[in-house]
């Protein structure tokens, strides 16, 4: 069933777990994620992005129907959302398509401008019963700088800013920077857990999001989840592991007949196995939809 971001995260703080936010960029990876969550009876967030998904889609609207239909037909709660939308327009488009959440990223803007942009999106999204995630502080990566792969402490989220940002914007989930980085890491990353604890204290019942999960050791994930993280974005790591499984099959079959279907099968198997693993690491729990039914929103009924 399709649910909103707010609904899918509704029990995460009390029960101290995180919901994985995984790859909705392509059909076969999305299938693997969903198969694993159905087998484990766990909720799933599938994300797409304007930059990475649509250039390769047959048509944007068809890709979105595919994701939404997968969620609609699923036995477990699924939230479809746009990740790192850079504009108000992209968020409106996601709402129009029927997403249960949007992430508006204005984290490179000064504080006041970030608040202004996010507040506009919140106003529109909440009118449609759709939840909003935003980012305060900045999780780096993909910027093409020589020190890429290293989290920069000057961009870490300041706990007092997180508190002010949450109360000014009324967002439903907040991405915070405390040592993670998008894409591969240089060296072993260490999360600033005391900072996360302080942010958790300041924002109370607001779910917190970890971006740049790929490459973090399991122990760091566990510490993050125990100390206040409720959604983990995990994309690159799964794409790499999936590609490695396909590469292995390809190498084993060098010079022999090999089909795209065989490659996709090992790819999906790798995605299923990894999704099951991270569900354990994130301590993801089955969502009690009866309990969160009071949060049911018009958009959800509309779907």
Active site residues: 83
Complex with Zn ion: residue 184 or 249, whichever CB lies closer = 184
DSSP state of 157: P
Complex with Zn ion: residue 216 or 266, whichever CB lies closer = 216
Cβ at position 232, least distance to Zn ion in Å: 10
**Cα(154)–Cα(136) distance, integer angstroms:** 12
**In the stretch 201-220, what mask flags binding to Zn ion with x, by CB under 5 A?**
----------x---------
Total residues interacting with Zn ion, rule: CB under 5 A? 1
Cβ at position 135, least distance to Zn ion in Å: 8
**Cα(76)–Cα(276) distance, integer angstroms:** 14
Compute the Cα dihedral for 165, 171, 177, 183 and give only its sign.
negative
Residue 267: helix, strand or coil by DSSP?
helix
**Cα(16)–Cα(220) distance, integer angstroms:** 15
Nearest residue by C-beta to Zn ion?
211
Complex with Zn ion: residue 26 or 133, whichever CB lies closer = 133
- CA 161 vs CA 120, 135, 181: distances in Å: 19, 11, 20
25 binds Zn ion per the rule CB under 5 A? no
Cβ at position 222, least distance to Zn ion in Å: 20
Query: Kind and range of the H or E element at 163?
Result: helix 159-169
Cβ at position 275, least distance to Zn ion in Å: 18
- Interface ranges with Zn ion (CB under 5 A): 211
């Amino acid at each position: 069933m399709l649910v909103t971001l707010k609904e899918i995260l509704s029990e995460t703080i009390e029960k101290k777990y995180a919901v994985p936010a995984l790859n909705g960029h392509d059909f076969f990876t999305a299938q693997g994620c969903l198969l694993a969550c159905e087998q484990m009876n766990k909720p799933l967030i599938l994300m797409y992005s304007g930059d990475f998904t649509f250039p390769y889609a047959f048509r944007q609207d068809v890709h979105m129907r595919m994701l939404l239909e997968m969620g609609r037909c699923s036995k477990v709660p699924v939230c479809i959302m746009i990740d790192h939308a850079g504009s108000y327009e992209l968020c409106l488009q996601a709402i129009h398509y029927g997403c249960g959440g949007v992430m508006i990223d204005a984290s490179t803007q000064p504080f006041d401008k970030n608040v202004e942009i996010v507040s506009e999106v919140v106003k529109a999204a909440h009118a449609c019963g759709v939840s909003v995630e935003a980012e305060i502080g900045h999780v780096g990566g993909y910027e093409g700088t020589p020190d890429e792969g290293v989290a920069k402490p000057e961009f870490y989220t300041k706990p007092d800013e997180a508190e002010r940002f949450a109360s000014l914007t009324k967002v439903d989930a907040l991405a915070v920077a405390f040592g993670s980085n998008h894409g591969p890491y240089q060296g072993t990353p260490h999360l600033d857990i005391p900072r996360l604890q302080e942010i958790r204290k300041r924002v109370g019942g607001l779910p917190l999001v970890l971006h740049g999960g790929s490459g973090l050791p399991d122990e760091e994930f566990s510490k993050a989840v125990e100390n206040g993280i409720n959604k983990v974005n995990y994309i690159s790591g799964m794409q790499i592991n999936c590609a490695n499984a396909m590469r292995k099959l390809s190498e084993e079959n060098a010079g022999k007949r090999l089909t795209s279907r065989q490659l996709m099968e090992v790819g999906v198997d790798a995605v299923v196995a990894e999704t099951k693993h991270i569900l354990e690491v994130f301590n993801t729990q089955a969502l009690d939809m009866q309990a969160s039914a009071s949060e049911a929103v018009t958009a959800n009924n509309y779907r």
